[in-house]
Structure 1
Amino acid sequence: MNKAMVSYRVLVVEDNEGDLFLIEEYLREGLEDPEIYTATSFRQAKDQLSINRGYDLILLDLTLPDKYGKELIQEIAQLAEDTCLIVLTGYNNEAFGIESLAHGVADYLIKDEITPSILHKSIVYSLGRKQASERLMDSEKRYKDLFHLSPIPMYLYCCDSYNFLDVNQAAINHYGYSREEFLSMRLPDIRPREDYKTWEELIKKLEEGMPFPDSVVVRHLKKNGDIITVEIKGNYIDFLGKKAQVILAHDITKQVKYIETVEDQNTRLQEIAWMQSHVVRSPLSRLMGLVQSMDTLEEDLGKDALNKMILDSACELDQIIHQIVQKAERINLDK
């Protein structure tokens, strides 16, 4: 058996001198220079844990002179906080040893079956599970912080029922629904009714196996009736045994309106350019022709009619220029 090359600090709570001696020997055989502390009663164990909370492991006999069973486990677990706890039990209470796993115990060992190898494996596996659990809890905490503290609205929904499972504060603030209201709603409830068909088509494609797009631009409905344009990005996760999807909903309403305004301005500029290059040219060409023809007229023959045509063309040109100015002013007003 290879010794664990980590120096562990172990508290052994055992009132039987013979069992205590064997456990200490097995610990030294299986671990590299363990720091072993002992207590022969609940009171002593309580004092030890009050003084020193830096133990890596607690080996706890289920029956002590001043406390035993479920009550003993619960109080030691509360004192030990997140320290790994392994229960030592006899044949007559093996059933409770199994039951103790539901009370935060990492493992249980039957005293008459303990060997250095069994004790070593139990310690290594129990500490390994504890570390894995701590990593999982840390990962879950980071996820919750990322989710709940995000300044961008985020929500979680069930992929089977489309019910909201969780929602962050940014979504509550932005959409206007309370957390309780969100959790009583389904995903379609935040879509405008006229967009239901589009939503159903997307859901059908996803159910048929289409991967969720990197991003989707959709319309959402706020509690006050405002319709906003959002870019949503999603990722599938397992949430309490349910297939769920976490969604990040970035409101791009202002950006979309800005783009629409720019496109509208470009259209108007194109109209102005076309009017300048085509519409203005017609009355201007007539004016130039009429002015040139004045030089060829003798005396006052036809000058009145010619003057009228010049005036009409000038008025037409003035109206066209006025229209161009109005379109240009409209562009400036929309900025």
Structure 2
Amino acid sequence: MKTSKDNKPYQIVIIEDNPGDYTLIVNYLEEQFLSPKIFWAKNFKEAKKLVTDATICSDLILLDLSLPDKSGEELITEMFLLCPETPLIILTGLSDNTFGIKSLSLGISDYLIKDELDANLLYKSIIYNIERKKTLLQLATSEKRYSDLFHLSPQPMWVYDTVSLRFLDVNEAAEKHYGYSLQEFLGMTIKDIRPVEDIPEMHKRVEFLNENEGSHSLGTFRHKKKNGEIIYVEIQSNIIQFQDSIGRIILASDVTERLSYIEAIEKQNEKLKEIAWIQSHVVRAPLARMMSLIDIIKNFGIEENDSENLLNNLLISAEELDVIIKDITKKSEGIQLDKK
């Protein structure tokens, strides 16, 4: 039994044409709530004015199904158009289970029979449906945030089914980068974007990830675009509940240019090592001979019969050195890296 009244300042709209029923509902509310703010509309016209009033932030609507100017399914539909985010509880004198089930399918929060109603039942329904609506709105907001992050991401992303390997959803960046439309992607599996020779290894990877569901995956793999181009892609993935399936969400970063650039740098480094070796070994031989000949001339002079021989040796070493320098220059000119 409740020992104290609920002190939350709920704003409740009652749409009821029968003054007696309205008074009874108010009594039930005041029995359970400390200070409820209640608004009354006696027909659809007044109800429309109330629920569209920007100064009234109603937490819940109690709606009689039979109003003078509108009733039944049409009334429910019109009310949802006016206030789709506000919980709507039907209060009716008609015990029609078929229509009650149908009205729930239309989106109402609860369906209560007036003759079975009491303060406690009404209170439980109000609190439950207000909190339920908050949870649903939070979930919808969360799903929209996920959807925006997913679909508006500049990086290619997709979700695939961990069992069938079919694409479940693909963002626009993936469509543009791989060349497939969304409909084409949804008719494909992740095998279709892998080179044939890489598929066996892909199956092993998928099997490992499925056996370790909580694992976050990171790695670089080869992918194939619609035009047949092979690219290298850095993949980050994690498990996700997607609709009725267990999926894996993928973030794909094309690293083809980066890997090509690194490969080019490594090749250039090899050339630089070769040049350094030439400078430290090949250049030294003719240079050492020239220095020796110059030293002999400086210290001992040149006798007439040796002068031609010494000069010829100097010339040979100089020409050899010239060829080596030209070779180094040629190799150096081949070292060109694009600035990214």
Match in the other structure for 2:16: 14
Contact persistence 2:162–2:210 (CA under 8 A): no
Match of 2:190 among 178, 187, 191: 187
| Aligned residue identity for 1:81 | P
Question: How many correspondences in the alignment?
Answer: 334
| Aligned residue identity for 1:216 | G
| Aligned residue identity for 1:327 | K
Q: CA deviation at 1:19?
A: 3.0
Contact persistence 2:213–2:239 (CA under 8 A): no
Could you tell which deviates more after superposition, 195-204 or 49-58? 49-58
Q: CA deviation at 1:28?
A: 1.4
Could you tell which deviates more after superposition, 282-291 or 105-114? 282-291
Match of 2:320 among 304, 316, 319: 316
Q: Deviations over 1:235-261 (max 9, x none)?
A: 221111211122111222222222222
Match in the other structure for 2:279: 276
Q: CA deviation at 1:46?
A: 4.6
- Within the alignment, does 1:162 sit opposite 2:165 as a pair? yes
Q: Deviations over 1:94-121 (max 9, x none)?
A: 4532443221111222323322122111
Q: CA deviation at 1:45?
A: 3.8
- How far apart, CA to CA, are the structure 1 residues paired with 2:324 and 2:223? 43
Match of 1:26 among 16, 25, 28: 28
Check 1:35–1:297 CA distance in 2 against 1; reply closer, same or farther (3 A cut): closer
Match in the other structure for 1:326: 330
Task: Give 3-state SS (helix, strand or coil) of 2:305's partner.
Answer: coil
Q: CA deviation at 1:327?
A: 1.2
The gaps in structure 2 that reach 5 residues or longer are none
Contact persistence 2:214–2:238 (CA under 8 A): no
| Aligned residue identity for 1:36 | I
Task: Give 3-state SS (helix, strand or coil) of 1:92's partner.
Answer: coil
- How far apart, CA to CA, are the structure 2 residues paired with 1:54 and 1:15? 22
- How far apart, CA to CA, are the structure 1 residues paired with 2:250 and 2:338? 34
Could you tell which deviates more after superposition, 269-278 or 128-137? 269-278
Could you tell which deviates more after superposition, 128-137 or 157-166? 157-166
Match in the other structure for 1:300: 305
Q: CA deviation at 1:58?
A: 1.4
Could you tell me the percent identity over the aligned residues?
48
- How far apart, CA to CA, are the structure 2 residues paired with 1:213 and 1:300? 84
Contact persistence 1:261–1:334 (CA under 8 A): no
Q: TM-score, normalised by structure 2?
A: 0.85
Contact persistence 1:94–1:110 (CA under 8 A): no
Check 1:316–1:202 CA distance in 2 against 1; reply closer, same or farther (3 A cut): farther
Q: TM-score, normalised by structure 1?
A: 0.86
